[in-house]
Amino acid sequence: MNQRIAFIGGGNMATALIEGLLAAGALAHDFLVIEPVEAIRAKHASRGLATHSLAHTDLSHYSLWVLATKPQDLQEACEAIMGFLSPQTVVTSIAAGIPISTLKAWLRGHSKIVRAMPNTPAKVGLGITGLFGTSECTMAEKKAADEVFTAAGQRIWLDTEALLDPITAISGSGPAYVFYFMQAIERAAIELGFAPTQARALAIGTFRGAAQLAALDETPLADLCARVTSKGGTTEAALAHMEAAGVKQAIVDALHQANFRARELAQLLSACS
């Protein structure tokens, strides 16, 4: 990576991205973290990164900015930093629900903007990030933004910004759905006589192995499921019960509800700006 990056906001996701970049060989002196919380600044400073508490810091020497504040704090941050924008600055926002049109307004019409929606497994390099960039961003600039998320896991570039709400509902919130299902397996294992530590290991190990198997095999997921299901067997009994209870449709409906809420929150944030 041959660029200087300023992170406006140094919380959990920014930390995950920075740690991934450093592990991949980036140099600490190429980063600046602007963060009002002293303890968070100290954590970044201990790695050799430049830090500052105020967003009024001169950012003109940084070609890529990552907006990583909470959505409700982003307008104030943009107003503080926009005086340092140059036409070549690429601004990447990981704030959920803030559309590019709003970011442009907050940044006085600046148009080189990328929106990204990572998820929490980015902390262990196994996340997946949806990205969309404006037409004013060159391929090289999009590649530079993409590199920020390389160490965080997979990246998917979207053809339209409108898909960022569904990305939020599916992969952004997705880890919680997986943990929810794992909780159910853990609970059942305990009820069937396993110790809590064993039950947790069974739940996590099953999901880890199944996910890796699916990742390495292009077979449709329905066929992978069928491979484990013998007629009259235990898997068939469990799946039949889930189908009768409407589990699959409930999951699909839940994701549609999450998508609806993502759009609703985006509208609320825009209305408050």
Report the pLDDT value the prediction gives residue 57, as an integer from 0 to 100: 77
What are the tokens at 33?
């973290």
**Domain boundaries of the chain, sorted by first residue:** 5-164, 174-265
End-to-end CA distance of the chain: 35
Contact 18, 1 (CB under 8 A): no
Neighbouring residues of 92: CB distance < 8 A, sequence distance ≥ 6: 64, 65, 66, 67, 113, 114, 115, 116, 145, 148
| CATH architecture of structural domain 5-164 | 3-Layer(aba) Sandwich (3.40)
Distance, CA of 229 to CA of 231 (rounded, Å): 7
Report the pLDDT value the prediction gives residue 64, as an integer from 0 to 100: 95
Distance, CA of 13 to CA of 172 (rounded, Å): 12
Report the pLDDT value the prediction gives residue 129, as an integer from 0 to 100: 97
What are the tokens at 22?
């450093």
Query: Which listed CATH number (1.10.10.10, 2.40.50.100, 1.10.3730.10, 1.10.760.10) goes with 174-265?
Result: 1.10.3730.10
Distance, CA of 68 to CA of 77 (rounded, Å): 10
Instruction: Return the number of other C-beta atoms located less than 10 Å from residue 97's C-beta.
Output: 21
- Which stretches of the chain score pLDDT less than 50? none
**Beta-strand (E) ranges in the chain?**
5-8, 31-34, 50-52, 64-67, 90-93, 113-117, 127-133, 153-157
Contact 263, 165 (CB under 8 A): yes
| Helix pair angle (221-228, 196-216), 10° resolution | 130
Residue 35 exposed, middle or buried by CB count within 10 Å (0-12, 13-18, 19+): buried
- Measuring CA to CA, how many Å separate 173 from each of 19, 145, 155? 22, 22, 16
Distance, CA of 179 to CA of 86 (rounded, Å): 43
Neighbouring residues of 180: CB distance < 8 A, sequence distance ≥ 6: none
pTM listed for this prediction: 0.87
Please give the backbone phi and psi of residue 250, each rounded to the nearest 5 degrees, phi first. -65, -40
What DSSP assignment string belongs to 100-142?
A: HHHHHHHTTT---EEEEE--GGGGGT-EEEEEEE-TTS-HHHH
Distance, CA of 149 to CA of 137 (rounded, Å): 17
Report the pLDDT value the prediction gives residue 257, as an integer from 0 to 100: 96
Helix (H) or strand (E) run with residue 9 in it: none
| Residue labelled with tokens 């601004």 | 91
Please give the backbone phi and psi of residue 139, each rounded to the nearest 5 degrees, phi first. -60, -40
